[in-house]
Structure 1
Amino acid sequence: MKELKRNTMRDWKLAFANAKWTEQTLAILALVYVGFHLINLFVAFGPMGSKVIHIGMGIGVLTLDLMRRHPGRTTKLAAALVCVTVIPAACYFFTDQIGVLTRYGFASSPDMLAGGVLVFWMFVLTGFYFGPAFAAVGLVFFVYAYLGSYLPAPFTAPSTDLLRVTSKLTVGALGDVVELSVTAIFLLLLYGSVLQASGAGAFIWTIASNLARRVGGGTGALTVVSSGLVGSFSGVGAAGVGITGPIAIPLMKRDGYTAEQAAAIEAIASTGGQIAPPVLGMVAFLMADFLGIPYARIVLAAIVPSILFYLGLLLFVVLIYRRNGGTGAPVEGEVQPDANHSGMRVGISFTLPIAVMVVLIMEGMSVPLAVFWSIVSIAVLALIFRLERDPKVWMGAILNAAINGAALGMASGVLDVVMASLDITQLGMIVGFIVGEIGGTSVLANFLLVLVAAYLMGMGMPGVAVYTVLAVTLAPVLINLGAAPIVAHFLIMYMTILSNFTPPVAPTLMLTARIAGANYMRSGLDAMKAGAGSMILPFFLFTYPALLLYNATFTAVVEAIVVTSLSIFLLTISLVGWLGRPLSVIERLMLAILPIVAWSADFAGVKPLYWGAVAACCAAFIWVVFAGLSMRKKTLAEISIEPQGI
């Protein structure tokens, strides 16, 4: 054992010595960057010092990463420009923190020059790591702050002094969203990377395999459970795809799912992690900040909707699998955990750190500290159980956390610019006025307009960016329509994730379609069918706030869960069009119309019609279940009397 350990360390040192100078420097800077975020929990760097270091050092990490991936003269020149501009700007902010904050809104020329340098590189690096669309939207808000007062009505912004605008857009880039990034988001990314590196991630596949066999959905069900678990602890849909997609998608195709179905299932399962406890995603932390409520309350509110989301997806997967002729038999090549990564040790190494984080948050500890102690528990358990001994794996985890955390830091700076622009131009009031003018006095029309606007603004954009804008512009409209603040913000959050897997612009689906070799638009149509549950959830959240366990009686919670579950169940079966046999058009229409009638009657307050529609939904559910059982028995009987070959 000692010899193996010495060999491993020797191989790692040799690999480091043979690496290029950019890789060596990046590894060292990543270690320092991660170390700073851990020390930052216990050491104060001033009122804005932590944000300055987070952004300044993050720009260095990303620059080295780009040099590593794109070696060339242009990249070297850009890196040199970064050094001669970012280092002086960051040092200026760090050494005069009190003065900069005192002059905020009426900043001096050096303040604005230093802030402008950091903002410029934030936009550039955000474009590289999150796509030009994200940076372009931020740039639109940046320009709108200057030119909004010259635009025609209804987009005319109040006239503001240019010095004040420039001050808020540059110095303001180190605002609340960057603060959230440096304190909580970075540590969560580190937590997810270290948990995977420890080998405890193999436990996900064990749990997922067992559940998948029980529900009978083959590798599709395995994908839903595993991608959901990974996504729920990473909070980033693309991260879930990167971990499970290359494994799960080929297995699903081998198991009878079409390439389009496999791409759709993986995209939705990974995206759903952003709305599933215990971690949720960056949006949840922003929501807690907007609403001024504990993060634990957001987690509690997300439990029931996330369960309904994944149950609807599992139902779709099982129906499609059976329709494609799946038998539920294990697929050759199905991924199983390594023998060294199984059993009680792996289970403890996976569940205990999560339990530590959840319990500490529920007890009132701040999220950053709870995540820190969870990371400590991962390290301790890894040493005790020796699940992963290769230093290269741990270094890779730290490197990934540093790069992803730095990229999110840049995106956070762009979002702070957007927030500053919204404050300067009062765009939230303008959008609310426009929606009100179009929708008139109709609650339903305004509600639908808000959902459509949220969906359209979410196309191709990270959910956190869209949520930040919509929380200021459209959430107040929903609150004026009678929704509680927490309900309004949950509605916004759910609508922002839909565009991740529905056409025409769906970043997560684009990634899974590439992995599956599938047609993008056909994958989008399958994703809309598979995601039927998530698409109708915003409607039911508006009429049933009890789904969020918000100021609700036990009876109201039960009613909300039953009616919403029935609606998702019937609508999914209608969209798939199969239940042991192909369903007729009449049957599919009946199953689809009943939930719509129930929701509409409840929205309109017509209780007799509502209860009648709910009773019809229950009857349809009973009929569907018995019809499915009868068809399954008939199929099994036919199989049992078939002559067996010799």
Structure 2
Amino acid sequence: MTTQTGQPVLSDQIAEKAASDFKMREYVGKAAYIVTVLAIIWSIFQIYAAGTGVLDAMRLRAWHMMFLLTMTFLLFPAFRKKGGTVRFPTFFDVICILLTIVVFGYFLVNYSEIALRGGYLLQMDYIIGAIGVLLIFEAARRVVGNLAILAFIFLLYNFFGNYIPEMFGHGGFSVNRVVDHMFWGSQGVFGIAIGVSATFVFLFILFGAFLRISGFSQFINDLALTIAGRAPGGPAKVAVLASSLMGMINGSALANVATTGTITIPMMKKNGYRARFAAAVEAVASTGGQFAPPIMGAAGFVMAEYLGVPYTTVMIAAIVPAFLYYFTLILVVHYEAKRLGLKGISRDNIPQVKEVLMKQGHLSLPLIVLIIMLFQGYTPIYAAVFSIFACILASWFRKPTRMGFKKIAQALEEGAKGAIGVGVACAVIGVIIGTVSLTGLGLNVGYAIMNYTNESILLASVLVMLMSIILGMGVPGVAAYVIVATVAAPVLIDLGVEAIAAHMFVLLYACLSNITPPVALASYVGAGIAGADQNKVSLTAVKLGLTGFLLPFFFIFEPALLLDIDSISESLLPILTATLGAVGLAAGLQGWLLTNVSLIQRFLLIIAGFLMIESSTRTDVIGLVLLIGLLLWQWGTKRKEASKVNISS
């Protein structure tokens, strides 16, 4: 079997190996129909609740949690060896499902009464709350094991903080106090994290499922081929374009590598790229989608809620970081292709752009509708619901893409299943956020960083960067952002950094944890597909994504790099010089500009890149003069090489 490009599709065995960490149980027989029906009902419920607003926030979250945990216990085995194809859930799974229905049913029935009596809890309320927290931890253990361990450490901190000396200690809290705060309060498991899952995250994952089923993914791949396929190293550029677009929709670097990577990585290897380079390109491209507008993997919608600003403000602010990140990656891919003497894909294996637009162009309508509605001031939730229906409607424009009842049901099912991982992460993150608010840990961390760094923004930024990367490791993008926005972003804001710059800073590093050793999961999945060494892929990915690691420090001190529609003229020069800086940085990293560069030239190119990304007039001028000088040096070298070739021939 081959793709439209003539490239062989990766074998099912390798694809299965790459996606093994994300594999759920597969049911056969009647149980399979029950799971499918339940998933479809959950998706329809979420669309109805979001579109009509008939439920208040707490009830919506409780219903969402009930569906979420029930699906988790059905699809994720208690032990990995118990996975695979099954006919029925285990007895333990059934017990967990029944407890889930009882606990969250009790919450829905009694929440109003508890609120009327001023939050006073009876003994049964405490028991129900404790069971609810345990169920969330069991679900998290199955789905996001490392995050469950982290949350458990935070939970223990509530009880044993009195044993920790000085500023990080506290008086300790009773079990009842912790259960009250974590389960019945609005800052625990029913707080902002699960609220995000019940609204933005679920709907946009569902939207992504409809786009995939309608054929939008194939359209993006074919369109990328027509744009970059024939250029030197065309397959890698196609991978960057396609993975960035799909990554911003599904919001998961891991899932994107495990799906699109099974096609793009073998395609790059066949073109002549080294296995570790191909895997790293896919990992870096998929990771950047989480902060690439217009959708930003749904993290931008959460940021807008935190900041209390329209989503369009966040979306516009993210344009320059995302542009420089991908512009540098495209240049690195191009220079590597030139250095290796690679060619593009032959014309025969590339579809015609007119043909692609005529046959599949209508599939872009839902994305266009989404962007227009966001700029018109509609809420992201309403825009997402409307775009889902627009996706169905657009698919009917042509018979080959038409979504009938079966495909719509498939999209509803896939969307629900795809939301489980992020949803469970958001649920258990409620324990982390609840601990931060109950114990004052966030304030204590902020004070400690400010005291340790003597209120130096640069030093504090380095510590916040490390904190964001560590807290984001192994966590889905949106969930990682919720953690760092709660713990890390306030530190920078207290030091005087603009709020949007602080939140964009922690978002980028939380996302980049996907390619940062030692827990570079996106890199590791790419390595599994490419058959390359995991550590080498991870280090190569850090190198390719270097702009992403550097840029946040620059917009901390120069917010003009984060576009503001009211002062866009002030941003033009910093953006121009930063773009030129990206050219120098990419050339230095890959050892090619107009021709091969020497070691000293590589060093000078990287310095020039740094100087121009740092947007002050003096550094821009020095960097520009240095880059022009290196270009002239390279031009002279290239002429000499050409003369030698002519003489020898």
Aligned match for 2:556, one of 538, 542, 550: 542
Please give the alpha-carbon distance, in whole angstroms, between the structure 2 residues aligned to 1:331 and 1:519: 33
Displacement after TM superposition at 1:320 (Å): 1.0
Correspondence for 2:12: none
Aligned match for 2:415, one of 401, 408, 413: 401
SS in 1 for 2:509: helix
SS in 2 for 1:224: helix
The one-letter amino acid paired with 1:84 is: L
Aligned match for 1:618, one of 611, 620, 624: 624
Correspondence for 2:62: 52
Correspondence for 1:4: none
Displacement after TM superposition at 1:550 (Å): 3.4
Please give the alpha-carbon distance, in whole angstroms, between the structure 2 residues aligned to 1:544 and 1:552: 16
Confirm or deny: 8 A CA contact 1:435 1:446 kept in the other structure.
yes
Displacement after TM superposition at 1:19 (Å): 4.5
Please give the alpha-carbon distance, in whole angstroms, between the structure 1 residues aligned to 2:76 and 2:183: 25
Please give the alpha-carbon distance, in whole angstroms, between the structure 1 residues aligned to 2:504 and 2:106: 40
CA-atom RMSD in angstroms: 2.9
Correspondence for 1:179: 195
Aligned match for 1:39, one of 39, 48, 59: 48
SS in 1 for 2:343: coil
Confirm or deny: 8 A CA contact 1:122 1:411 kept in the other structure.
no
The one-letter amino acid paired with 1:274 is: Q
The 3 A distance-change label for structure 1 pair 268 and 47 is closer
Confirm or deny: 8 A CA contact 1:316 1:530 kept in the other structure.
yes
Identity percentage of aligned residues? 29
Unaligned runs of 5+ in 2: 1-26
Correspondence for 2:24: none
Displacement after TM superposition at 1:263 (Å): 0.8
Of residues 242-251 and 407-416 in structure 1, the stretch that sits farther from structure 2 once superposed is 407-416
Please give the alpha-carbon distance, in whole angstroms, between the structure 1 residues aligned to 2:503 and 2:564: 13
Please give the alpha-carbon distance, in whole angstroms, between the structure 2 residues aligned to 1:160 and 1:367: 39
Of residues 465-474 and 183-192 in structure 1, the stretch that sits farther from structure 2 once superposed is 465-474
The 3 A distance-change label for structure 1 pair 331 and 125 is farther
Displacement after TM superposition at 1:146 (Å): 2.1
Confirm or deny: 8 A CA contact 2:585 2:610 kept in the other structure.
no
Confirm or deny: 8 A CA contact 2:585 2:605 kept in the other structure.
yes
Please give the alpha-carbon distance, in whole angstroms, between the structure 1 residues aligned to 2:564 and 2:356: 39
Query: Does 1:62 find its partner at 2:72?
Result: yes
- Residue by residue over 1:350-381, the C-alpha shift from the partner in whole angstroms, topping out at 9 and shown as x without a partner, is 2x111111111221211111111111111112
Please give the alpha-carbon distance, in whole angstroms, between the structure 2 residues aligned to 1:356 and 1:286: 20
Query: Does 1:155 find its partner at 2:165?
Result: no
Aligned match for 2:456, one of 442, 453, 460: 442
Displacement after TM superposition at 1:539 (Å): 1.4
Please give the alpha-carbon distance, in whole angstroms, between the structure 1 residues aligned to 2:642 and 2:135: 64
- Residue by residue over 1:103-132, the C-alpha shift from the partner in whole angstroms, topping out at 9 and shown as x without a partner, is 6764333223323333222222223223x1
Confirm or deny: 8 A CA contact 1:55 1:406 kept in the other structure.
no
Aligned match for 1:462, one of 455, 468, 476: 476
TM-score after normalising by structure 1: 0.88
SS in 1 for 2:215: coil
Displacement after TM superposition at 1:264 (Å): 0.5
SS in 2 for 1:499: helix
1:224-623 → structure 2 map (5 Å cutoff):
224-330=240-346, 342-350=356-364, 352-386=365-399, 387-388=401-402, 393-550=407-564, 553-596=567-610, 611-623=617-629
The one-letter amino acid paired with 1:147 is: F
1:107-256 → structure 2 map (5 Å cutoff):
107-130=121-144, 132-160=145-173, 162-171=175-184, 172-213=188-229, 216-256=232-272
The 3 A distance-change label for structure 1 pair 396 and 73 is closer
The 3 A distance-change label for structure 1 pair 102 and 581 is farther
Correspondence for 2:14: none
Of residues 24-33 and 104-113 in structure 1, the stretch that sits farther from structure 2 once superposed is 104-113
The 3 A distance-change label for structure 1 pair 331 and 245 is farther
Correspondence for 2:8: none
The one-letter amino acid paired with 1:279 is: I
The 3 A distance-change label for structure 1 pair 100 and 71 is farther
The 3 A distance-change label for structure 1 pair 43 and 284 is closer
The one-letter amino acid paired with 2:620 is: V
The 3 A distance-change label for structure 1 pair 204 and 625 is farther
- Residue by residue over 1:523-572, the C-alpha shift from the partner in whole angstroms, topping out at 9 and shown as x without a partner, is 12211221121111111111221111238744430222123223222122
The 3 A distance-change label for structure 1 pair 349 and 496 is same
The 3 A distance-change label for structure 1 pair 365 and 626 is same
The one-letter amino acid paired with 1:51 is: R
Aligned match for 2:94, one of 64, 73, 80: 80
Confirm or deny: 8 A CA contact 1:566 1:617 kept in the other structure.
no
Of residues 490-499 and 454-463 in structure 1, the stretch that sits farther from structure 2 once superposed is 454-463
- Residue by residue over 1:408-437, the C-alpha shift from the partner in whole angstroms, topping out at 9 and shown as x without a partner, is 222221122221111101111111111122
Displacement after TM superposition at 1:319 (Å): 0.8
Unaligned runs of 5+ in 1: 1-17, 603-609
Confirm or deny: 8 A CA contact 1:193 1:398 kept in the other structure.
yes
The 3 A distance-change label for structure 1 pair 489 and 627 is same
TM-score after normalising by structure 2: 0.87
User: Aligned residue pairs: how many?
Assistant: 614
SS in 1 for 2:396: helix
The 3 A distance-change label for structure 1 pair 173 and 492 is same
Please give the alpha-carbon distance, in whole angstroms, between the structure 2 residues aligned to 1:566 and 1:435: 34
Displacement after TM superposition at 1:192 (Å): 0.5
SS in 1 for 2:342: coil
Correspondence for 2:7: none
The 3 A distance-change label for structure 1 pair 174 and 630 is same
Displacement after TM superposition at 1:278 (Å): 1.1
The 3 A distance-change label for structure 1 pair 189 and 551 is closer
Please give the alpha-carbon distance, in whole angstroms, between the structure 2 residues aligned to 1:225 and 1:501: 18
Displacement after TM superposition at 1:69 (Å): 4.5
Displacement after TM superposition at 1:300 (Å): 1.2
Confirm or deny: 8 A CA contact 1:463 1:496 kept in the other structure.
yes
Of residues 467-476 and 370-379 in structure 1, the stretch that sits farther from structure 2 once superposed is 467-476
Confirm or deny: 8 A CA contact 2:159 2:174 kept in the other structure.
no
Of residues 631-640 and 249-258 in structure 1, the stretch that sits farther from structure 2 once superposed is 631-640
Aligned match for 2:36, one of 27, 35, 56: 27
Displacement after TM superposition at 1:586 (Å): 1.5
